[in-house]
Structure 1
Amino acid sequence: MATRSWWGWGTVENAVRGDERDRLTARVAALLPGADLTVHEPPALPSLDLPAPVVAPPPSLARLCSSSVEDRAAHGHGKAFRDVVRNLHGSLASVPDVIARPRTEQDVIDLLDWCSSDIAVIPYGGGSSVVGGIEPRFDGPAVTVDLGHLAAVSEVDSVSRAARIQAGVLGPALEDQLRPHGLTLRHFPQSFEFSSLGGWLATRAGGHYATLYTHIDDLVESLRVVTPSGVAESRRLPGSGAGPSPDRLFLGSEGTLGIITEAWLRVQERPRWRARASVEFASYADGVTAARVIAQAGLYPANCRLLDPAEAFINAGASASVLVLGFESADHPVASTMDRALELCRDHGGVVQSSDEASSAWRSSFLRMPYQRDALAQQSMIVETFETACTWDRFASLHSGVVAAATAAIKEVAGAGVVTCRFTHVYPDGPAPYFGVYAAGRWGSTVAQWDEIKAAVSEAIVAAGGTITHHHAVGRDHRPWYDRQRPDVFAAALRGAKSALDPTGILNPGVLLDP
């Protein structure tokens, strides 16, 4: 069995090493000459100086709980660049006191009862948060409730094509349980291997598919949520006009209103027909136009990912902007749909590649990106991403403003670096641009350097009319800009809901709302 890394992404066995690290280091050295690429190893777990736990579970719950150094360290941070770097430095000032692993919904209820007066509760799925969503960044005791044992597909309705699924199941195990039924949830975020259904629901996660059902929201029939005030379960329906949706209240609530324990999800037959292609554009603007036209044509590609020249060069080995296209269906061949999409690309200067080499290279790179990010973090590099969404009419100004802000901030804190952009999703009314930053940092300072860059680009995003997050959630890191994005009257309504569902404010303090 593979060993999960306590300090970084994924498993220890899949970490970057050997020839892969040598090649990665050589590419970075060519891109940023003079960078100090010395490798710094993570500290040994026994050497971590964690604060002593200040609470212990009652005897009735002790069987569910752990306060081991490994558990507390592994659950203290998410998987953002700044989390990984702090782990590498052994900087774990804020970690939970207790890790609880409920095995039934009643265990979740009992845990909330124990914590109800003055112990903060942090719901935890796969721990892949990149926005400080699972870090106890507050004073007072904290219990992390890890739902990993609630991991079953409990029921399948093949007639309605829906499944009742427990919230703690990770992506691969979920698909393994649906596969014998010939079904799939068809939701594949980049974190798929190490993130959970409950995490996807609580953060309104975006999947890999570029159009149509892009967010987990689109797949929800009903939710069951345990709150300090009781259990909420919505009626399972294909649609309803009966007032505001209770599911919409809990989707994206990031563990602040309750703990999602299970959901009915819309599932699909597994695809039988697929087509893929890559198209190069000499002009990035022409690639943007082609992506927009395809998004507005009702073709619904599974993949419509535009890579700017820098992104295409670093992760696909191409020398121009590349549009990676893919179609799939469980019902019918998709060759004619692909033909129409390629025709639209040609109308806007696209050159269809005779081989799919660039998109194949990008897909391989996509799967290794988090591991390579960790390897570069060990070498004092600043390697991180941020995402947003905007309407098509605002994209050009948003893109130029964000790139300018990122470039200026990089120059200020690191001297030199590269900013890349790709589309992760495209809608008829706008794209979801996903930016990458690569810069040479100073060992011991890279978190502070990144924080300055992040603040600059966040200001640029908000100023250009984009959202502070398209699918990474709010957590604690995006709070200043989220507070400015949401309407004040909605903030008041959210505080009212929080007060009714969590009267003592124990659930994930500081996320979405002040404690």
Structure 2
Amino acid sequence: MTDSTTLSRRAPRRFWGWGQADASLDTREQATVKTMVEQLEVPYTERAVPQVHEFTLPSPRVAAPKALVSVFSATPLDRLNHCVGKSYADLARMWLRAPPTPPDWVAFPDDEQAVVDILDWAQAHNVAVIPYGGGSSVCGGVEAAVGDSYAGVVSLDLERLNRVLEVDPISRAARIQAGALGPQLQAQLKPHGLTLRHFPQSFEFSTLGGWIVTRAGGHYATQHTHIDDFVESTRLVTPNGILQTRRLPGSGAGPAPDRWVLGSEGTLGVLTEAWVRLQEPPCFRVSASVRFTDYFAAARCVRALAQSGLNPTNCRLLDPMETVFSGVGDGRFAILVLGFESSDHPLQAWMARALDLVRDHGGTFDADAVARSLAAQGGDEHRSGAAGAWRDAFLRMPYWRDPAVGLGLIMDTFETAITWDRFEAFYASVKADVGAAIKRATGQEALLSCRLTHVYPDGPAPYFTLAARGGADGSVASALSAWRDIKQAANAAVIAHGGTITHHHAVGRDHRSGYEREVPALFRQMLAAAKQVADPQGIMNPGVLLDPVARQVGHSGILAPSFSGSDVKAAAPCKTPT
């Protein structure tokens, strides 16, 4: 076994929270968290964070393969960092010093051949394999609790596969290894004058491969919003061979194989690299902060913007309570954060037309501030005011959650998408249902807010944030129990009122109950059949999306799925009408 300090190329991360191990809140952020906590009538005190020595982990159940022992680690820190992701439930269990079953080993392959060798070994020894990128999953996507039908579990961390391998400047595309974190691929593309321009909130701690297999959403609100829009071809190592798709700008040749890779969440194989479309970095920017007294009038303004063809890069609508969570308002107004970017042309005409639509819907803004935000050749004036404050809060918010979890508070989010014709009723119904669930679970009125993170001509992606006291005793355990009921209610609400179970946070284990209602049963059978071909022994990320056929997969008890892939049978043949 090799010590993790020689294996890892990344700075140590918090196994119990978000980000780097040495991360801390500044004085202003501490004040923000204190205010949020005290709004819920909980005293703000600092609690001792979990330490590795407080955890007793079981010994590995299987021996590491002799030929690969140099890339395997069983150090407590590596195992703790790889047993869960970064959901509220994941962090709460760490604060309780009661994580689910850790992986027996963490593997850090040096190259694709090592990935192949690990899968071959795992198949031969009945070992489950959990592909791991940055570990930022908030839906149970990398959990190592897979039940007793496997001899062991390996978390396969791709952090060493982190290079930009090839750049095609003519087509503006690059071949990049799947383990490259956002800053790593950005830094390697910069000398070529190009960028992927995909910036999820987890950008610093998530990988290209993770984005692709979870169909991640980026920061930009319109046009190229999902990683799907950038994928040109993929390379997937499966237990049954390598699936390499052809690099093309587009094709009408039958069902696209890349569509099986996108969103596969490690259930079919390990994504090792992909060709992705690139762009020139923007050098022209402009932003505006718009206030509305009527939230639904603001939503109708956003719809007009989404359907205008202007394609703003930022078009986030924060309801009044969300402005409080984000630290950009006092709860009296809805705020629209609006922005445009271009690498080719000035943007005055685009913003001018957008502000015409804003006026038409009753929005107000500071014209001088908009003029000051105009930036060319890399200026940062667009980051001033509410737009800049929101951006800063957006990136730092995961850090604010960590101490709140330790105080026994529930702070979580869930997101969905719905068509415009149903949005207003959907917004009211989901808030009512989830608010009632929070009251039942905690006995307290909820702080529940919403922002529109992405908008399309036919509908928005509402992103809800909730904060509540976990229970009468103020313990993390009671908060986790209450969260379980709230999460199930949120899953049920977004599906019952016509939305998707997830817009960009993936399915994992926590969203399976909704996914099984959203996706037709026949498609689930098709997916189960594809998994049997690619992964005949059912070793790849069992329990995520579906259970392998003929396997009894263990679940952590956080959220139990309602449907088991073990129940999938071959689809009945279609009968010709007589």
TM-score, shorter chain, exceeding 0.5: yes
Taking the aligned partners of 1:349 and 1:297, their CA distance within structure 2 comes to 17
Equivalent in 118, 133, 138 of residue 146 of structure 2: 138
Contact 2:213 2:266 (8 Å CA) reproduced? yes
Contact 2:144 2:153 (8 Å CA) reproduced? yes
| Matched AA of 1:149 | R
Change (3 A) 1:294 1:48: same
Aligned counterpart, 2:232: 221
Taking the aligned partners of 1:340 and 1:41, their CA distance within structure 2 comes to 52
2:381 pairs with 1:381: no
Taking the aligned partners of 2:404 and 2:177, their CA distance within structure 1 comes to 36
Aligned counterpart, 2:74: 67
* RMSD of aligned Cα (Å): 1.3
| Matched AA of 1:474 | V
Aligned counterpart, 2:388: 360
Aligned counterpart, 1:25: 34
Equivalent in 420, 423, 442 of residue 395 of structure 1: 423
| Matched AA of 2:318 | L
Taking the aligned partners of 2:262 and 2:293, their CA distance within structure 1 comes to 41
Taking the aligned partners of 1:487 and 1:409, their CA distance within structure 2 comes to 28
Taking the aligned partners of 2:26 and 2:293, their CA distance within structure 1 comes to 35
2:18 pairs with 1:5: no
Aligned counterpart, 1:209: 220
Unaligned 5+ residue runs, structure 2?
A: 1-9, 370-383, 549-578
Contact 1:209 1:302 (8 Å CA) reproduced? yes
**Number of residue pairs aligned between Structure 1 and Structure 2:** 513
| Matched AA of 1:20 | E
Contact 1:50 1:92 (8 Å CA) reproduced? no
Taking the aligned partners of 1:113 and 1:314, their CA distance within structure 2 comes to 48
2:257 pairs with 1:246: yes
Taking the aligned partners of 1:394 and 1:40, their CA distance within structure 2 comes to 44
| Matched AA of 2:201 | Q
Change (3 A) 1:61 1:402: same
Taking the aligned partners of 1:93 and 1:460, their CA distance within structure 2 comes to 27
2:515 pairs with 1:462: no
1:61 is paired with a residue of what secondary structure? helix
Shifted more, 399-408 versus 469-478: the winner is 399-408
TM normalised by structure 2 equals 0.87
Aligned counterpart, 1:199: 210
The Cα of 1:25 is off from its aligned counterpart by 1.1
| Matched AA of 2:59 | A
Aligned counterpart, 1:445: 478
The Cα of 1:12 is off from its aligned counterpart by 2.8
2:326 pairs with 1:293: no
Shifted more, 359-368 versus 12-21: the winner is 12-21
1:138 is paired with a residue of what secondary structure? coil
| Structure 2 counterparts to residues 90-489 of structure 1, below 5 A | 90-117=97-124, 118-139=126-147, 140=150, 141-315=152-326, 316-318=328-330, 319-354=332-367, 355=369, 357-414=385-442, 415-441=444-470, 442-443=474-475, 444-489=477-522
Aligned counterpart, 2:63: 56
| Matched AA of 2:427 | H
Contact 2:85 2:140 (8 Å CA) reproduced? yes
The Cα of 1:21 is off from its aligned counterpart by 2.1
2:321 is paired with a residue of what secondary structure? helix
Shifted more, 317-326 versus 387-396: the winner is 317-326
Taking the aligned partners of 2:468 and 2:536, their CA distance within structure 1 comes to 45
| Matched AA of 1:416 | E
Question: What do the CA deviations read for 1:160-213 (whole angstroms, capped 9, x no partner)?
Answer: 000000000000011000001110000000000000000000100000000111
Taking the aligned partners of 1:14 and 1:417, their CA distance within structure 2 comes to 29
2:66 is paired with a residue of what secondary structure? coil
Percent of pairs with identical residues? 53
Question: What do the CA deviations read for 1:454-490 (whole angstroms, capped 9, x no partner)?
Answer: 1112111111110000000000111111111100111
Taking the aligned partners of 1:152 and 1:311, their CA distance within structure 2 comes to 38
Taking the aligned partners of 1:366 and 1:102, their CA distance within structure 2 comes to 33
Change (3 A) 1:392 1:23: closer
Contact 2:318 2:452 (8 Å CA) reproduced? yes
Shifted more, 101-110 versus 19-28: the winner is 19-28
Contact 1:36 1:440 (8 Å CA) reproduced? no
Taking the aligned partners of 1:8 and 1:418, their CA distance within structure 2 comes to 22
| Structure 2 counterparts to residues 83-94 of structure 1, below 5 A | 83-94=90-101
Taking the aligned partners of 2:401 and 2:24, their CA distance within structure 1 comes to 10
Taking the aligned partners of 2:493 and 2:43, their CA distance within structure 1 comes to 30
| Matched AA of 2:134 | G
Taking the aligned partners of 1:386 and 1:65, their CA distance within structure 2 comes to 35
Taking the aligned partners of 1:456 and 1:111, their CA distance within structure 2 comes to 39
| Matched AA of 1:13 | D
Contact 2:491 2:513 (8 Å CA) reproduced? no
Change (3 A) 1:19 1:160: closer
The Cα of 1:102 is off from its aligned counterpart by 0.5
| Matched AA of 1:268 | Q
Shifted more, 144-153 versus 407-416: the winner is 407-416
The Cα of 1:2 is off from its aligned counterpart by 5.2
Contact 2:305 2:354 (8 Å CA) reproduced? yes
The Cα of 1:17 is off from its aligned counterpart by 5.9
The Cα of 1:28 is off from its aligned counterpart by 2.8
Contact 1:131 1:473 (8 Å CA) reproduced? yes
Taking the aligned partners of 2:431 and 2:534, their CA distance within structure 1 comes to 41
Taking the aligned partners of 1:360 and 1:320, their CA distance within structure 2 comes to 18
Question: What do the CA deviations read for 1:361-391 (whole angstroms, capped 9, x no partner)?
Answer: 2112111100001121122111000000010
Unaligned 5+ residue runs, structure 1?
A: none
Shifted more, 196-205 versus 410-419: the winner is 410-419
1:116 is paired with a residue of what secondary structure? helix
1:168 is paired with a residue of what secondary structure? coil
The Cα of 1:93 is off from its aligned counterpart by 3.0
Aligned counterpart, 2:567: none
| Matched AA of 1:418 | L
The answer to which structure, 1 or 2, has the higher relative contact order (CA under 8 A, 6+ apart) is 1
| Matched AA of 2:21 | V
The Cα of 1:260 is off from its aligned counterpart by 0.4
